[in-house]
Structure 1
Amino acid sequence: MNVNISGLTKVYGKKRALDGITLQLEENKIYGLLGRNGAGKTTLMQILAGQIMPTGGSVLINSQKPFENQEITESICLINESENFKKGLKIKDILKIANYFYPNWNRETAEKLLEDFYLNENLKIKTLSKGMESALGITVGLASRSPITIFDEPYIGLDAAARSKFYDLLLEEYEEYPRTLILSTHLIDEITRLLEEVLIVSEGRLLMQKNTDELREESFVVNGSSAAVSEFVKNKNVVYRKSFGSMEQAVLYGENRMEANEAGLQVEHVPVQDLMVYLTAKPKGGVSA
């Protein structure tokens, strides 16, 4: 399912949560939706899932608006950070409801994931730990096989081993049943290997939408003497700079790393998480919105 968002805004009182976002998402691709707290990520995902209405602009999924459109909302599964399930229900009740709601629901996948996460169908939601509830959300999201599946901080409470298992299961399921996957998380470096495209949001605006491999190639760190680094970064897009004694470090975005090598500077990879922090830093980031 193709997604076209144009001039999207959402206002809550005096707060502008989204401010004219325009982007396109292709089907059967894994996207990372990144940004700081309060950037507008959750609002964007909720509008995309048809849970809330935008104030302005448009969201079209296969040329249809998602809000109050059952045909579209049945094709979208949004797993929120918390409060996905009613506390009085049992896990088996949740699976039964999901089976009715999601046309592509796969019971075998759900049972496998419950086994992988050591979840008993007879447990009540109110008795689950935070990690167990996150594991149930992951189970429902992947087993829904929705053409658009969205995870908003899906693994709160999961330890590193359980998160690693989630990444492996997600890739397995995506390979078997391709779909559009949107992941929003603060554990960016953990998921970078999964992402085909990165979207960075800051203060309700889209800073960038970039292929992950291109983003890695176009962002880098240079280290060298202060004089050499200062000379190299002239008229270049520097998103972070730090001096220590007679040495200096600079992070650049959208530049040619071969030039840095030719200038005799030490060139290093910059993690996507660090780059996001630099680009969204106040008072300025390296990319204008």
Structure 2
Amino acid sequence: MTSVVEVHNLTKRYKDKLALDAISLSIEKNTIYGLLGRNGAGKTTLMSILTAQNFATSGDVRVFGERPYENVDVLSRICFVRESQKYPDDATAAHAFTAARLFFRHWDQQFAERLIADFQLPMKTAIKKLSRGQLSAVGVIIGLASRAEITFFDEPYLGLDAVARQLFYDRLLEDYAEHPRTIILSSHLIDEVSSLIEKVIVIDAGRILLNEDTDAVRGRASTVVGDAAKVEAWVADREVIHRESLGRVASVTVLGHLTDGDRAAIAAADLDLAPVSLQQLIVRLTQNAARRDAAVTEGVL
């Protein structure tokens, strides 16, 4: 597929903090991505650099084949919606949508009005007086109705309640089916967005841990549960990313796709297999990466 974003050896340093550590990745056209990771992992820094709202310390960034900085042609094709978006003190939602309509070349006013009704958003109230959920709705509506070729959502929907978030997910999928574009969702609600995303990028401590198709990721880890001795014998030559035990029972999560032979051996040993959700996998991967970093720092590895 065609790449709309290419990043090579991108590094960002804030004084003593390394926010991005020489990362490289491609983002494909007409795909929904999940950009996942803990607070401070580097997600917002990466999106800010891709949208020319921040500067890299080193490395190369190309969006639509060009550098995005001070590039009106590129930036007019991008929408970046973030939870901390600032507006003028006297601005209303109507003002925000009018400005968005002027900037985004594919803006759909009819779709925007439908979303305004869906989210029951007051249009004449000053944005600074809106509730957190209503403020989130302003960003969500701009992100969807802009129909930008690349849209970044940096968790602006966290202020929405569960019903409103589901409405956002439903409208996003409906409109994406009719108007494909590249969408990057940065979220902590991993299980909640897992059914939406086609590709997963996991970032931790400024490094890319995972960049794969979501379907491929789902079978990448398995948890084996049962008699501790039998479990440990089965996982002896495998990459363990998490281990728990209670008395004589152990639960161990390992990386790697299981073969039919693996499953037969597990059943023959009277062990059980437990599913690993996308959220569990990402949590375990980041925990394992943190342990490795600590071991390196301490000179163990």
Instruction: Measure how far apart 1:259 and its partner are.
Output: 4.3
One of 109, 118, 122 as aligned partner of 2:124: 122
Alignment pair present for 1:106 and 2:105: no
Alignment pair present for 1:131 and 2:133: yes
1:93-134 alpha-carbon deviations (Å, 9 max, x no partner): 111100111111111111110000001221210110001000
One of 228, 231, 235 as aligned partner of 2:230: 228
3-state SS, counterpart of residue 106 of structure 2:
coil
One of 281, 284, 287 as aligned partner of 2:292: 284
Residue correspondence of structure 1 range 171-210 to structure 2 within 5 A = 171-210=173-212
For 1:272, the aligned partner's letter is L
- Paired with 1:218 and 1:259, the residues of 2 have a C-alpha distance of 16
Alignment pair present for 1:271 and 2:277: yes
In the other structure, the counterpart of 2:80 is: 78
- Paired with 1:246 and 1:271, the residues of 2 have a C-alpha distance of 25
Instruction: Measure how far apart 1:213 and its partner are.
Output: 0.7
- Paired with 2:42 and 2:244, the residues of 1 have a C-alpha distance of 30
Change (3 A) 1:258 1:241: farther
1:8-55 alpha-carbon deviations (Å, 9 max, x no partner): 011111111100110111100000001111100000001111111111
Change (3 A) 1:266 1:258: farther
Instruction: Measure how far apart 1:83 and its partner are.
Output: 2.5
Between stretches 16-25 and 247-256, larger displacement belongs to 247-256
On the 8 A contact 1:222/1:249 being kept in 2, the answer is: yes
Alignment pair present for 1:52 and 2:54: yes
Instruction: Measure how far apart 1:257 and its partner are.
Output: 5.4
1:180-227 alpha-carbon deviations (Å, 9 max, x no partner): 000011111000000101001011011110111111112221112112
3-state SS, counterpart of residue 280 of structure 1:
helix
One of 153, 161, 164 as aligned partner of 2:163: 161
Between stretches 167-176 and 255-264, larger displacement belongs to 255-264
Q: How many residues in Structure 1 have an aligned counterpart in Structure 2?
A: 286
3-state SS, counterpart of residue 155 of structure 1:
helix
TM-score, normalised via structure 1 length: 0.95
Q: Percent identity?
A: 43
TM-score, normalised via structure 2 length: 0.92
In the other structure, the counterpart of 1:218 is: 220
Give 5+ residue unaligned stretches, structure 1: none
- Paired with 2:278 and 2:83, the residues of 1 have a C-alpha distance of 22
In the other structure, the counterpart of 2:9 is: 7
- Paired with 1:45 and 1:86, the residues of 2 have a C-alpha distance of 23
- Paired with 2:240 and 2:27, the residues of 1 have a C-alpha distance of 29
Change (3 A) 1:272 1:123: same
In the other structure, the counterpart of 2:299 is: none
Change (3 A) 1:260 1:154: farther
Change (3 A) 1:200 1:57: same
Instruction: Measure how far apart 1:84 and its partner are.
Output: 4.0
3-state SS, counterpart of residue 29 of structure 2:
coil
Instruction: Measure how far apart 1:284 and its partner are.
Output: 2.9
- Paired with 1:86 and 1:34, the residues of 2 have a C-alpha distance of 31
On the 8 A contact 1:35/1:200 being kept in 2, the answer is: yes
